Amino acid sequence: MPQFRIAEVAELLGVSDDTVRRWVDHGQLTAVRDAGGRKAVDGAELAAFAKCQAHATRDPSAVDRSARNRFVGLVTEVLADRVMAQVEVQCGPHRVVSLMSSEAVRELGLEPGVLAVAVVKSTQVVIEIPGSGS
């Protein structure tokens, strides 16, 4: 099982190294010494911890939908021409980018600072392993 050093854990979870050390000191995460003698966290434990720590921002629309992947965030950038637009939404630590018509952007009033919900519904999701080279 992979192990992640304190700095890597911090980067993956979007917190400071000191926060990760506090979690270790308070027993929320278990750190072991890696082959180089540095503190590291087991990958499986980190995955479970990350899942428990994750909290979704409340969806203000609160309507029933079949799509389960709804990410609440703030519009951070809109690039539009006459026909198409690219809209970037920062949803917690995640950046979601959508391509849509410029007409839809105007109708929705999308501009930086607007609260939005990115709804992702896809039958295909690509998963990659960093550094796999394929």
Is the domain of 46 the same as that of 81? no
- Evaluate whether residue 129 is within a structural domain: no
pLDDT value of residue 39: 93
Instruction: For residue range 54-110, list pLDDT tens digits in order.
Output: 665 666 665 555 557 888 888 999 999 999 999 999 887 888 999 999 999 999 999
Looking at residue 20, which CATH number applies to its domain?
Answer: 1.10.1660.10
| Token output for 18 | 């000191």
Provide the domain limits for residue 93. Answer: 69-120
**Distant-in-sequence, close-in-space partners of 72: CB < 8 Å, separation ≥ 6:** 56, 57, 58, 59, 60, 91, 115, 116, 117, 118
- Evaluate whether residue 58 is within a structural domain: no
pLDDT band at 20 (very low <50, low <70, confident <90, very high): very high
- Evaluate whether residue 128 is within a structural domain: no
pLDDT value of residue 23: 95
What pTM did the predictor assign? 0.58
